[in-house]
Amino acid sequence: MKIVIVGGVAGGASAATRLRRLDENAQIVLFERGEHISYANCGLPYYIGGTIKEREALLVQTPRAMKDKFNIDVRVQSEVTAIDRKNKTVSVTDLRTGKRYDESYDKLILSPGAAPVRPPIPGIEQEGIFTLRTVPDTDAIKEAVDKGKPSEALVVGGGFIGLEMAENLHSRGIKVTIVEAADQVMAPIDYEMACIVHRHILSKGLKLYLKDGVKAFRKEGKRVKVELQSGKLLAADMVILAIGVRPDVSLAKDAGLEIGERRGIKVNSYLQTSDPDIYAVGDAIEVKDFINGSDTVIPLAGPANKQGRIAANNIYGAGEQYHGTQGTSVVKVFDLTVAATGNSEKTLKRMGMDYRKSYTESDSHAGYYPGASPLNIKLLFAPDGKVLGAQAVGYEGVDKRIDVLASAIRFGRTVYDLEELELAYAPPYSSAKDPVNMAGYVAANCLKGDMEIIHWDQVDQLDRDKVFILDVRPPEETSTGSIEGAVNIPLNDLRARIDEVPRDKEIVVYCKVGLRAYIAYRMLVQKGFRNVKNLSGGYQLYQAVKQAEEALK
């Protein structure tokens, strides 16, 4: 059998090596229009920043290694320009010589990836404006930083690449400004969790403009002037465009293959396109959202690698299905780690799905062991308890918690299962009640009726004439701020001062993160108070949103 693969990196390269493991006698040809067939996309910003010292460390596989180890015919700087489905050939142009030729195939795998979005903004082709997707892109940016010695940089876009580039340019001593058209950075997480990130970014001395896009670029001397939609004028020595990526579907579209509503190549669960002899994988394809079943485009390396393997298996008759992408992701933002899996609240609302949510803040490991830091988890779950999504922000241990929650989602588990999980514990690593267990306990309490909750975004709408807001923190904690109109009765004094709490009003009780308020809640309801709610996430989350919004005014 002869299999032709268009595009390397995660999907194409993993398909090629899997094919060889399945069939020693197959003829496998991999075309890549760039110079490199497999490189670490996610490591590119860290090479620019200097954390990764050697450029060669970014190159996962080379054509020589693929030939020697797997006997794969790798042809770099070779662009496939057309597919003749009837005759089962592809047209190829050797970009070094200009030679054109046809290559036959029995099965074809498309892995063309995605291209950085470059909207038609006036002046966008000016010198000093960069995108980051490939090794040559990286080389160009690194040269501009190393030789040009820029003092100021502007990053357009607050997604993964934008934030990673902002951090790495900042680590090179460059003043960085981030411009994001949405009201938050990091689209996979929800607004209130992003506010924690906003506050941290600002604490590092970066400038952050939200709800403001770029209207025009113009060159003035060696600097780039940037006009925002709001009319603000900014200037920088270099600009990084990190607006996002778009599936590269031109080859598939020209061949008459079906393109989905989200502008990705349409594939079935076996990763076959509308032509059963042509498979497609990676950033160019539409996948099923694992939670809600809708068609979506999620450009992540992990799913692309899995898809490459599955496509190879199915070419040899495995009948293996790809069950969808849940979007598990993690990113380092200076000292913070930000992670998400499953659907966000924004997505659940857009899809019209019934859901509940809760917030917890736990120590990353046992509080009595030095170095414990706060770890915030937002849990989204169905009325029957099934976990639909999770987000985590913290300084330590975020990645392992999101991985546990991602596994729970993949296997259809509930918040009640999170309560029962037996997770590794030693004081330097966790607590006897792991943050994941705690998230499960709180969510389960809500569903079982042990606790009614209210959320940060409902507080300012409360009618103070009808609602009694009870702050159960000790007085010294209230010096950091409090909710307007709240009455402070410390938890330890509440039993003795219970008569100060009115029985004819709704009671909203809060503490720093919600645990002491839960104790107060249980006390109040057992003493006959009938309309009590606990502020989920506590004052800490409410304050994080308010502080971030105030700082960005």
Amino acid 346 reads K
Give the list of residues 6+ apart from residue 332 with CB closer than 8 angstroms, or none: 164, 167
What is the CA angle 174-54-67, rounded to 5? 140
Q: What is the strand order of the sheet 100-104 is part of?
A: 78-84, 89-94, 100-104
Question: Could you write out the DSSP letters of every residue in 44-73?
Answer: HHHHHHTSS--GGGGEEE-HHHHHHHH--E
> Does residue 395 sit in helix, strand or coil?
coil
| Cβ–Cβ < 8 Å for 178, 204 | no
C-alpha to C-alpha distance for 8 and 5, rounded to whole angstroms: 8
Nearest to 459 by CA among 496, 506, 522: 506
> Does residue 408 sit in helix, strand or coil?
helix
DSSP code at position 551: H
| Cβ–Cβ < 8 Å for 132, 145 | no
C-alpha to C-alpha distance for 178 and 154, rounded to whole angstroms: 6
- β-partners of residue 305 are none
| Cβ–Cβ < 8 Å for 127, 138 | no
Residues with a catalytic annotation lie at 42
CA-to-CA dists, residue 433 to 57, 359, 364, 483, angstroms: 39, 16, 11, 29
C-alpha to C-alpha distance for 526 and 307, rounded to whole angstroms: 54
> Does residue 130 sit in helix, strand or coil?
strand
Query: Do you know the residue count of the chain?
Result: 553
Q: Which residue has the tokens 């604490």?
A: 203
| Cβ–Cβ < 8 Å for 491, 512 | no
| Cβ–Cβ < 8 Å for 509, 488 | no
Beta pairing class for 207-210 and 214-220: unpaired
Give the list of residues 6+ apart from residue 250 with CB closer than 8 angstroms, or none: none
C-alpha to C-alpha distance for 517 and 512, rounded to whole angstroms: 8
Q: What are phi and psi of 239, to 5 degrees?
A: -125, 135
